[in-house]
Chains A and B, each alone.
Chain A
Amino acid sequence: MIRVAAVGDVHVDADVVGRYRPALEQLPEVADVLLVAGDLTRHGTVEEARSFVTEFGGLAVPVVTVLGNHDHQSDQADAVCTVLTDAGITVLEGASTVLELNGHRLGVAGAKGFGGGFGGTCASNFGEREMKDFVRTGEDAANRLEAALTGVTCDALVALTHYAPVPETLAGEPPEIHAFLGSYQLGRAIDAAGTTLALHGHAHHGTERGRTPGGVPVRNVAHPVIKQAYNVYRLLSEEIQATLVHA
């Protein structure tokens, strides 16, 4: 069994340092790894990245992250990533990592993702240059995620994004802004790769649980959604009774 702790949208700045730490110190008792689904900081500054490292660094379990839109606000994403990686925190963007945990290989493939919307109300690659740039940015992000997912060999595969891959986990958000919260192309990438679990954030007023058209469980772990320091998901559990498992 692998125990995956996850949270997103922690928006750390100096005022948040110390709020998560007591719960994070208990991670080894309840989880084998912590995944953070973007928006690690408020404005994406190096100073805020250092605050994130103070709060989420030096833990007894590996920490794997993707960036979110807030982490790009100050155009210092590369410097933010350097601060994180120097502290031993993995940052994925169209990339993957494999962790050996409890005798199993956990693959985590991640990308920030982008908007674009979902079937029926998605944006199209048509018209003004600005609109085509918007759609292409979303397509490129999904392609990077798919390449990362399909390149992993592991026992359980987690897709980690900031933007949402399905509309179900956006329930609670105004439908008018769904196109800015995720895209169906991310869901298609997840379905293409035999993914075990998809985790995302970004939608503060969304819903925790959803599923891709291909049947992959999706969880929105944005902090205002889960309302605790992190959620824990168990993968490859030997305790599951087949008769209780629903499709």
Chain B
Amino acid sequence: MTPQVDDYLEAEIQRLLAEDDRVAEQGITVQRREQAVVLGGEVESPERRDEICRRITSRFPHVQITCDIGITRTTVPADAEEIS
């Protein structure tokens, strides 16, 4: 039976994202869509994004997970702001 994507499941996912030592992310959003969950936000490396998806899928194998997590760019700024 497919588990319901409800408040409790959303809370469990949010806590896993922060408390799992291999994830430790507090900036990932969890959006419920019908029977699916969409993970959003940005992390510092592709390895971290892939690990998040692995951990969530492994912990909640019956939930459809869409991983929409980006990697934050590290480019040099093109301009500066005057502070007055």
Q: Is there contact, CB below 8 Å, between B72 and A15?
A: no
Determine whether A122 belongs to the interface, using a CB cutoff of 8 Å to chain B.
Answer: no
Kindly state the separation between the CA atoms of A231 and B41 in the bound complex, as whole angstroms. 20
Kindly state the separation between the CA atoms of A223 and B77 in the bound complex, as whole angstroms. 12
Q: With contacts A23-B76, A223-B44, A228-B73 known, is A234 near B81, CB below 8 A?
A: yes
Kindly state the separation between the CA atoms of A26 and B77 in the bound complex, as whole angstroms. 10
Best-surrounded residue of B21, B41, B42, B77 (most CB of chain A within 10 A): B77
User: Contact string, A208-247, partner B, CB cutoff 8 A, digits 1/0?
Assistant: 0000000001000001100111111111010110000100
| Count of chain A to chain B residue pairs whose CB atoms are closer than 8 Å in the complex | 81
* CB-defined contacts of B21 to chain A, threshold 8 Å: 43
Q: Smallest Cβ distance from A183 to chain B, in angstroms?
A: 18
Q: With contacts A223-B44, A234-B82 known, is A23 near B75, CB below 8 A?
A: yes
Q: Is there contact, CB below 8 Å, between A239 and B76?
A: no
Those of A35-90 within 8 Å (CB) of chain B: 42-43, 70, 73
Determine whether A112 belongs to the interface, using a CB cutoff of 8 Å to chain B.
Answer: no
Kindly state the separation between the CA atoms of A232 and B45 in the bound complex, as whole angstroms. 23
Q: Is there contact, CB below 8 Å, between A228 and B75?
A: yes
Q: Is there contact, CB below 8 Å, between B24 and A245?
A: no
Q: Is there contact, CB below 8 Å, between A239 and B82?
A: yes
Kindly state the separation between the CA atoms of A30 and B27 in the bound complex, as whole angstroms. 29
Q: Is there contact, CB below 8 Å, between A30 and B76?
A: yes
Contact of A229 among B41, B77, B81, B82 (CB under 8 A): B77
Contact of A204 among B27, B77, B83 (CB under 8 A): B27
Decide if the interface of chain B is mainly helix, strand, loop or mixed: loop
Q: Is there contact, CB below 8 Å, between B75 and A234?
A: no
* CB-defined contacts of A16 to chain B, threshold 8 Å: 44-45
Q: With contacts A11-B44, A16-B44, A19-B44 known, is A224 near B72, CB below 8 A?
A: yes
Determine whether A197 belongs to the interface, using a CB cutoff of 8 Å to chain B.
Answer: yes
Kindly state the separation between the CA atoms of A153 and B42 in the bound complex, as whole angstroms. 39
Q: Is there contact, CB below 8 Å, between B83 and A224?
A: no
Those of A120-158 within 8 Å (CB) of chain B: none
Contact of B74 among A15, A19, A237, A245 (CB under 8 A): A19
Q: Is there contact, CB below 8 Å, between B80 and A228?
A: no
Given contacts A23-B75, A43-B21, 16 further A-B contacts (CB under 8 A): A12-B44, A15-B47, A16-B44, A26-B76, A43-B24, A70-B24, A73-B24, A197-B83, A204-B26, A204-B27, A229-B73, A231-B80, A232-B80, A235-B83, A240-B82, A245-B84
Q: Can you report 9 A-B residue pairs in the complex whose CB atoms are below 8 A from each other?
A: A16-B44, A16-B45, A19-B45, A23-B75, A30-B80, A223-B44, A228-B75, A229-B77, A233-B82
Residues of A within 8 A of B (CB): 3, 9-12, 15-16, 19-20, 22-23, 26, 30, 42-43, 70, 73, 196-197, 204-205, 217, 223-224, 227-235, 237, 239-240, 245
